[in-house]
Chain A
Amino acid sequence: MLQRTSVVDSVKVRTVSFSSIVEIGDATYHQAFSRALAVQRQKELFYGTEGVYEDYDVFKEPIPLIPIIENVECHFENVKPIIKVHHIDITGISSSSLLQIGNCRHMYTEARIKHIRQIEQSIATEVGDNLIQLNEPSQLGIPTSESPVSITGTDIMGSPFSGVGPEQEQ
């Protein structure tokens, strides 16, 4: 295992950014981690020091890795121990990503991303760390015609799905 040789005639990569790697050759371990808090505001506004990863669940929730209990007997026969690629063209490698030409024994990477959109509206109710609008969709000034989608996701009383049971279907 891991005996094959990778042969790439030419590689073209335009951008390698944010802790990304281009590796030519073999490795034993590769471990990468990236976090991103992407905020889009209606107004051009940035306070500079804001944003704490720990405030959001996506950056805290554990990622369960189910252990492999089954015993697997692996046997590899490299009839032709060569992997040939003529040309690789990549525009961008970003955020702890990897381009490797060669073998790697163990690889583990993790990415945690949160997107936030901030839209201006004078009436708001504070809920936790976020300022979430809790008004009816009609109060938002967006033309809606009995939209079945609840903005907050908390009120399901008027949901078209409530009261629909399997016994009613037949």
Chain B
Amino acid sequence: MNFQVYNRELQVGNINIIGVASSSICLVGDAQTIQLASTFDTPAESLIIGPFVPLHPKI
């Protein structure tokens, strides 16, 4: 496969970002490879209803 790119003029006014978080990237420039991976677990699966006990009780 052939991939031909012509980088002509690239001009941006303002970039306004509230947050770049959790291994994210804000890049002004070129890159050859970018690989971003993320895993996330949130309720209902991790909802605990019961007495307040430590997550991992240590003896």
Contact = CB atoms under 8 A, between A and B. Distances in A.
Partners in one complex: yes
Interface of A: 1-4, 6, 8, 20, 26, 30, 32-34, 36-37, 39, 41, 43, 45, 47, 49-52, 55-58, 61, 63, 65, 70-124, 129-133, 140, 151, 153
A131 to B, nearest CB: 4
Query: Which bracket fits the contact residues of B?
Result: 35 or more
Interface of B: 1-58
A104 B17 CA distance: 21
Contacts of B14: 86-89
Contact of B39 (A61, A118, A120): A61
Interface of B is mostly: strand
Given A55-B55, A88-B15, A107-B31, A117 B43 contact: yes
Given A73-B1, A111-B24, 4 more contacts: A20-B20, A51-B56, A94-B19, A111-B22
B13 to A, nearest CB: 5
Contact of B5 (A74, A90, A109): A74
A30 B43 CA distance: 32
Given A8-B28, A70-B1, A105-B33, A131 B39 contact: no
A168 B1 CA distance: 47
B25 A85 contact: no
A98 B25 contact: yes
